[in-house]
Amino acid sequence: MPLKTEKIPLAHPLLIDLLKMAYSAEKAAAFAYQGHAASVKNKDEKAAIRQIEIDEWNHRREVLQIMEQYNVPVSRYYEVRFYIIGKMISMSCHIIGWFMPFYFAGRLESGNVCEYFRMKQYFNSLGIREHDKTLYEMGIKEKEHEVYFLEKIKTNKHLPLFEKLFAWGVFKSYNNIDLDKKYPVEDSDDYCRK
């Protein structure tokens, strides 16, 4: 009789929810960057944002692969919710000027970084280490996105006010990763610990 490959269920509700949410949120991000890339005139900015959009689609694919491995279904609720959010942000990029799409993209990326490091911690708490590298790389990629957007606006005259109002900018980040002094994957347990 052929061996059946059993899918192992994940005994971790927070992890399951985080996977479902990240999968759908990556689509929202990709949609948002479609609008963002279309709204900027500068060719280099367009190309960079287009590349970030591709990164987000890749993340979505990688998250799905992990979900399938543990039989985690895609959430229809998150898919609809993030579809609407992504399309709304995408449209708004055409009407809110140059600064705000860069600012809020950076702020969002800043928060996304820790989603992948938190996933890694959750998997590790179950004794599962096989996704460490993938999750680490996705988290670092989000950090690179954050840094790209911050670099674009860090000398902009609007930033001090926005940083005060929305708690992200040159002095405030939603994660503790420093790309210049990056820890390797095996020493990255202190990233995003609350």
- Binding residues for Fe ion, per CB under 5 A? 26, 56, 59, 109, 142, 145
Distance in Å, CB of 155 to Fe ion, minimum: 22
Distance in Å, CB of 158 to Fe ion, minimum: 22
Give whichever of 133 and 164 is closer to Fe ion, judged by the CB atom: 133
Rounded Cα–Cα distance for residues 42 and 152 (Å) = 12
With both helix axes pointing from N to C terminus, report the angle between 99-125 and 132-153 in degrees, rounded to the nearest 10: 160
DSSP 8-state code for residue 171: S
Query: In angstroms, how far apart are the furthest CA atoms of the chain?
Result: 70
| Long-range contacts of residues 133-138, Cβ cutoff 8 Å, at least 24 apart | 133/185, 134/62, 134/66, 136/185, 136/188, 138/59, 138/62
Distance in Å, CB of 109 to Fe ion, minimum: 5
Contact indicator for 46, 40 with CB cutoff of 8 Å: yes
Distance in Å, CB of 16 to Fe ion, minimum: 19
Distance in Å, CB of 41 to Fe ion, minimum: 22
181: number of CA atoms within 13 Å, CB side? 3
Rounded Cα–Cα distance for residues 120 and 73 (Å) = 19
Give whichever of 39 and 60 is closer to Fe ion, judged by the CB atom: 60
Give whichever of 61 and 94 is closer to Fe ion, judged by the CB atom: 61
Give whichever of 109 and 163 is closer to Fe ion, judged by the CB atom: 109
Give whichever of 122 and 143 is closer to Fe ion, judged by the CB atom: 143
